[in-house]
């Protein structure tokens, strides 16, 4: 697959979109080689993110001795990064599913639900009352009540430190 991708972009058969077509062909090849119809990763996305290295290696290869070792190692590294990213994504999804299962019968108001969703999605791992009030467009006392209820339920934890900058995080994350 690495060599096929390399030769497609090296030959450059079309006026444009050769890199895009090569990435799609790579993902199609991976999809057809597995025994599952589901794929939880996108190698093409990682190649696109690292296209400057891809182009640099291709240029050195074309101007050099045509040794594809460095380019093949780069391709394998892209694949490993892709798998690592898929692993992190799946872990996050499982974490959210477990939280929702544990708290399926817990009643949250809309502000609390929004706060928890932002935390579960990784936007706010640590937050303060002031930040929550601004994000939820509510008063500081309302944000404090929402946070206190979640602390009392064991869903939020207070971080070390205190005073005006007391911050909170979700328990178990």
* CATH number of the domain within which 160 lies: 1.10.10.10
Q: Which of 75, 100, 125 is the last residue of a domain?
A: 100
Lowest mean pLDDT among 27-36, 144-153, 155-164: 27-36
119 with 134, same domain: the answer is yes
Strands (E), the chain: 127-128, 156-158, 167-170
90 with 133, same domain: the answer is no
Q: Which of 100, 119, 153 is the last residue of a domain?
A: 100
Tell me: pLDDT of 36 over 70: no
pLDDT band at 150 (very low <50, low <70, confident <90, very high): very high
Q: Is there a contact between 27 and 35 (Cβ–Cβ < 8 Å)?
A: no
Tell me the two tokens of residue 100: 């929702």
Tens digits of per-residue pLDDT, 59-86?
Answer: 888 888 788 898 899 999 999 999 999 9
Q: How much is the pLDDT for 119?
A: 87
Cα–Cα distance measured from residue 5 to residue 18, given in angstroms and rounded to the nearest whole number: 10
126 with 78, same domain: the answer is no
DSSP characters over 115-155 = HHHHHHTTS-SSEEHHHHHHHHT--HHHHHHHHHHHHHTTS
Domain containing residue 17: 2-100
Across the chain, mean pLDDT equals 86
Tens digits of per-residue pLDDT, 111-125?
Answer: 999 989 888 887 766
112 with 92, same domain: the answer is no
Give the global pTM.
0.65
Tell me: pLDDT of 38 over 70: no
Number of domains the chain contains = 2
Give 116's strand partners: none
pLDDT band at 37 (very low <50, low <70, confident <90, very high): low
- The answer for residues whose C-beta is within 8 angstroms of residue 82's C-beta and 6 or more apart is 41, 42, 43, 45, 46
Identify how many contiguous H helices and E strands the chain contains and give both numbers.
Answer: 8, 3
């Amino acid at each position: 697959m690495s060599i096929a991708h390399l030769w497609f972009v090296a030959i450059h058969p079309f006026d444009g979109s050769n890199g895009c077509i090569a990435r799609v062909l790579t993902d199609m090849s991976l999809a057809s080689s597995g025994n599952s119809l589901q794929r939880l990763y996108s190698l093409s996305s990682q190649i696109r993110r690292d296209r400057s290295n891809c182009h640099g290696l291709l240029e050195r290869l074309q101007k050099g001795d045509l040794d594809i070792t460095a380019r093949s190692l780069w391709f394998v590294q892209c694949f490993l990064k892709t798998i690592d990213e898929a692993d992190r994504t799946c872990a996050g999804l499982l974490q959210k599913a477990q939280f929702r299962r544990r708290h399926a019968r817990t009643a949250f108001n809309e502000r609390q639900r929004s706060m928890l969703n932002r935390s579960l999605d990784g936007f706010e791992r640590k937050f303060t009352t002031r930040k929550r009030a601004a994000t939820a467009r509510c008063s500081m006392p309302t944000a404090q009540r929402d946070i206190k209820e979640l602390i009392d339920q064991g869903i939020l934890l207070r971080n070390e430190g205190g005073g005006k900058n007391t911050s909170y995080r979700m328990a178990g994350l």
